Amino acid sequence: MPPVLKRSTVASHAVVAPGARLATAQGGGALGADRARVQMVQRLREWGVRDAAVLSAMGAVPRHAFVDEALASRAYDEIALPIGHEQTISRPLSVARMLDALRAPTRGGGARPPERPAGPWRALEIGTGCGYEAAVMARLYDEVYSVERIRALHELARVNLRPLRVPNLRLVFGDGRQGVPTAAPFDAIVVAAAGTEIPQPLLSQMRIGGRLVAPVGEQEQTLHLVERVGQNDWRLTVLDEARFVPLRAGTV
């Protein structure tokens, strides 16, 4: 029997227009990048991101190291940047609010915070892209698996992540819609691309008590938060508007 999502409360976050400018690393070297990250985190806090661990992780990972050198001066701006193959690195607020939603109560009294499991806290990302969000997640969870369907981006992420030496992160080349069943169940799943629905294999790979966050829709997208509350019971909370690249099947 396919999973059936039960709709819960509708929550909303502050909507921030993309393109907000922060201080950049251009001409400032390492100190400029550090200063830009501090300002980015301050803005994220002002825009409603509450989880201290998420803010700390966002402040620790060098976002400029995951974009083309020509775009490094805009790495900490509130904007999505191209990474090739018609894909983008999501704007900082998109990354932060998805990770924040996985860990905190929803606004409006929806799903409760997830309980820490007895074993390793395991997370899955669908859509590795350049590897940035995977690096942030690796600071939040004990084990992180990240799946990318585009071979060239899978390899790019490997190159970007190598200097950071992230031992608890596993990159997987494959169809993200199928998840990673051999590593399931997962306590947290992030889908960094928008489909018309949440793929059933991903719902099945959630731990009971685990959470999934994904954008859903085509022309108009909304962020969906799913909590698995029983063996055959999933609860849906619809958050705010979103804008992501399409979630596609297969590999290229």
Q: Tell me whether the omega of the peptide bond preceding residue 113 falls within 30 degrees of 0, making it cis.
A: no
**Under 8 Å between Cβ of 60 and 139:** yes
- Look up 56 and say whether it is catalytic: no
Which position among 8, 56, 90, 94 bears the catalytic label? 90
Rounded Cα distance between 94 and 244, Å, is: 9
Dihedral, CA atoms, 183, 200, 6, 241, nearest 10 degrees? 90
Identity at 5, one-letter amino acid code: L
- Catalytic residue ranges: 90
